[in-house]
Amino acid sequence: MNKEKTVNILLISSYFIFLIFSYISDFSIGIEIGVNFIDFVKSMLTILPIAFILIGLFEVWVDRKTVEKYFGEASGYRGYLWAIILSSTTVGGAYVAFPVAHALFKKGAKLSIILTYIGSSALTRIPMTIFEASFLGLKFSVIRLAVSIPMVIISSILIGNLFKNKIRVNP
């Protein structure tokens, strides 16, 4: 076993030993950490299996040429628009956005468009935007989207160009 695996096992074991001793000694902070961990695991188990099934179906059913057409190098500004539309319909936040982005990347999507998808998945989800508009007002939501979406696209293009020749994937 290499050193990195040993360190990981030691850290994970220490965490669970801490939780066990917290429950035994009635240490409230440790108990709260354990409860939060269980809640996190429950939420992951409700979202991830379905998301991974859908991502697997995407990888099998969607042709590489289709992804390259809409998200690839030749897609132009429409690729960014499709990335924003796709991210606004993605449920599950970063839990789902990163695996979807990986699947898109493997199918030949342009790096800057993938980065736009990841960035906008935190900003443009339809349920979140509706909830925000109901509490903070439609004007606030429109201004937030009008400012943040171009910034995500610009930063994605800059980062994509920076790493364009450094990141490769095997088809």
Looking at the fold, whether 39 and 90 belong to one and the same domain comes out as: no
89 neighbors 44 (Cβ within 8 angstroms)? no
Least Cα distance to 104 among 137, 63, 132 occurs for 63
Among 61, 80, 103, give the residue marking a domain's end: 61
pLDDT higher than threshold 90 for residue 9: yes
Averaged pLDDT, 96-105: 91
Looking at the fold, whether 158 and 89 belong to one and the same domain comes out as: yes
Rounded-to-integer distance, Cα 76 and Cα 56, Å:
27
Which tokens is 72 given?
């690839």
pLDDT digits (tens, 9 = 90+) for 112-153: 999 999 999 989 988 889 999 999 999 999 999 999 999 999
pLDDT higher than threshold 70 for residue 170: no
pLDDT digits (tens, 9 = 90+) for 83-99: 999 999 888 778 889 99
Give the range of the structural domain holding residue 81, as residue numbers without chain letter. Answer: 63-171
Rounded-to-integer distance, Cα 72 and Cα 140, Å:
33
Residue 92 carries which DSSP code? S
DSSP letter string over 48-85? HHHHHHHHHHHHHHS-HHHHHHHHSGGGTHHHHHHHHH
User: Burial level of 152, CB count in 10 A (0-12/13-18/19+)?
Assistant: buried
Among 34, 61, 88, give the residue marking a domain's end: 61
Give me the chain's average pLDDT, please: 90
Q: Pick left, alpha or beta for residue 93 (phi over 0 → left; psi -120 to 50 → alpha; otherwise beta).
A: left
% of the chain with per-residue pLDDT over 90: 66
Among 46, 61, 76, give the residue marking a domain's end: 61
Q: How many domains does the chain have?
A: 2
Rounded-to-integer distance, Cα 102 and Cα 22, Å:
38
Report field, pTM of the whole predicted structure over 0.85: no
pLDDT higher than threshold 70 for residue 1: no
Looking at the fold, whether 17 and 38 belong to one and the same domain comes out as: yes
Q: What's the pLDDT score for residue 151?
A: 97
Looking at the fold, whether 43 and 89 belong to one and the same domain comes out as: no
- The 10 Å CB-count burial string (b at 16+, else e) for 77-105 is eebbbbbbebbbebebeeebbebbbebbb
Looking at the fold, whether 150 and 160 belong to one and the same domain comes out as: yes
Looking at the fold, whether 72 and 154 belong to one and the same domain comes out as: yes
